[in-house]
Amino acid sequence: MNNEELLKLYDKHCDSIYKVALSYTHSVDDAWDVVQATFLKLMEKSPVLSEYTERKWLVTVAVNKCKDLLKSGWRQRNVELDESVEKHIDIMNSEEKMVFSAIMQLPLKYRLVIHLHYYEGYTFKEIAEILKISPSAVSMRLHRSRELLKELFKEEGLS
Amino acid sequence: MREKYKSAMDKLLVDENMKASIGENLLKQNDTLKNKNKITKSYIKIVYGACAVAMLVVMLVSTWMSARAVQAATRIMSDAMKVTLDASEDVIDTVTEEIKVIYTSLDDIEAEYTEGPGHSSITMEYEDKKVEDYIEFVDDCVIFYYEDVRIDITGQFSHETFFRYDVNEDYRIYVGGELDDIGLMRVMFFGDKGGRGIIYINDYNYESQPWQIKVMEDIEEKE
């Protein structure tokens, strides 16, 4: 892969990969590590990707890198949302802030599905391929996360 | 909810400085990777070339020769291989002699290393001998002596990239280097039989040429 192609893909998908990693790891530093590791993998493998498959390939690698990162010994603890992420929340309006915080409070498997579906716009089938689970499991996770969110919003007084 | 989450995520700013710095680093790594692949490809081409020539020689010779002559053909084949390899060494000379050195990564190294005591100091021991018996440090060049083999090592020490050099069947060294926190170049040696060492270089020219490991055999003869 030449530098021009690499830079083009990096500029196009960096933000998206960063946000997937951030919603997974809850840490800005870890999210950047995952971005770097994902693009290094792209350089090493140089897969033949179409415009339609490149984002999905990168997101799948990023999710796997996140899993590896959280598996490592010193990260095996429940990580609270990084302080540096909290900084950005200040510019959100109150409802956005509430939705964002509620989703970030969800257990990992639920918030990842929510992020991929709501923000990245992937279908159940695509999410199933990325996470290597069945589409019905994706649907179930989404259903449960909505139930959990409903409860959280009720507590916060948001309809 | 979908819209609110989307607009919230859109407001999560991406640190542009960090993005640019990682992009720059990726480009450097991509260049390194391309060079590495190029050398590997050259090596494969040379090996395949040598085999092809050797096979061709065998085929031609065995076609024309009797059963007894096949024995002689085998000798011819080995000579042909030698000639081809000698020729290929000349060809790759300009790509440095890295063909003799196998890229390896930290993961491949099982030996542990310890921090050296300070700048310009060496802490390597092998078979109860101090490293001074093995290594000499002259200007930009690290000279490693082992038995009657002298290895001159110059050039850029790539971060976390180690080279393996097979000194002989029984002894290999791994050489690598990295910049430490305060910008000192640290060159590390690992012998796979327990020898290990670190040399700190105060004024190392980090921007110099890529790795070159020159093997100068039979020093005594040369001297």
Question: Residues A50-87: pLDDT tens digits?
Answer: 877 888 899 999 998 888 877 765 554 445 566 666 66
Enumerate residues 45 to 84 of chain A having a beta carbon within 8 A of any beta carbon in chain B: none
Question: Per the structure block, which two tokens stand in for A138?
Answer: 């994706």
Q: Do A10 and B8 touch (CB under 8 A)?
A: no
Nearest residue in B to A45, CA atom: B33
Query: Which of A24, A43, A94, A111 should be substituted to probe chain B, the one whose Cβ sees the most B Cβ atoms within 10 Å?
Result: A43
Counting every residue written for chain B, the total comes to 223
Give me the sheet containing B102-105, strands edge to edge: B102-105, B161-166, B172-179, B185-191, B196-201, B125-126, B129-130
Nearest residue in A to B14, CA atom: A15
Residue A155 near residue A101 (C-beta atoms within 8 A)? no
> Which residues of chain B have a CB within 8 Å of the CB of A19?
9, 12, 14
Non-local CB neighbours of B24 within 8 Å, separated by 6+ positions: none
Q: Angle CA(A70)–CA(B104)–CA(A30) in degrees, nearest 5?
A: 20
A22 touches chain B (CB under 8 A): yes
Question: Per the structure block, which two tokens stand in for A77?
Answer: 């603890």
Gap between the Cα atoms of B68 and B10, Å rounded: 81
Nearest residue in B to A46, CA atom: B30
> Which residues of chain B have a CB within 8 Å of the CB of A97?
8
pTM: 0.51
The partner residue sitting opposite A100, judged by closest CB among B5, B18, B33, is B5
The better pLDDT of the pair B68, A118 is held by: A118
pLDDT in tens, B160-199: 444 555 555 655 555 555 544 544 445 555 555 444 444 4
Residue A128 near residue A134 (C-beta atoms within 8 A)? yes
CB atoms within 10 A of CB A20: 27
Q: Do A32 and B18 touch (CB under 8 A)?
A: yes
Q: Is B20 exposed, middle or buried (0-12, 13-18, 19+ CB in 10 A)?
A: exposed
> Which residues of chain A have a CB within 8 Å of the CB of B13?
88, 91
Question: Per the structure block, which two tokens stand in for A105?
Answer: 């409070």
Look at residue B143 in the predicted model and tell me its pLDDT. 60
Residue A52 near residue A32 (C-beta atoms within 8 A)? no
Q: Do B4 and A95 touch (CB under 8 A)?
A: yes
Residue B182 near residue B120 (C-beta atoms within 8 A)? no
The better pLDDT of the pair A144, B101 is held by: A144
pLDDT in tens, B51-78: 888 888 888 876 765 555 555 555 555 4
Cα torsion angle, A21, A25, A27, A32, sign: negative
SS3 B89: helix
In the Cβ-directed half-sphere of B40, how many Cα atoms lie within 13 Å? Answer: 9
Look at residue B114 in the predicted model and tell me its pLDDT. 34
Least Cα distance to B43 among B104, B105, B106, B85 occurs for: B85
Q: Do B15 and A40 touch (CB under 8 A)?
A: no
The partner residue sitting opposite A100, judged by closest CB among B8, B15, B31, is B8
